[in-house]
Amino acid sequence: MAKLSKRVQALRAKVDRNQAYPVADAL
């Protein structure tokens, strides 16, 4: 699950910067 963690981290960073919607929270 290391790949997923890295992907989620990237998504979280993107969401944090855009502040559009909590995608990481949903995942």
CA 4 to chain centre: 10
Query: What pLDDT is attached to residue 19?
Result: 64
19 compared with 3, residue with greater pLDDT: 3
Three-state secondary structure call for residue 20: coil
Rounded mean pLDDT of 3-22? 73
Rounded mean pLDDT of 7-17? 76
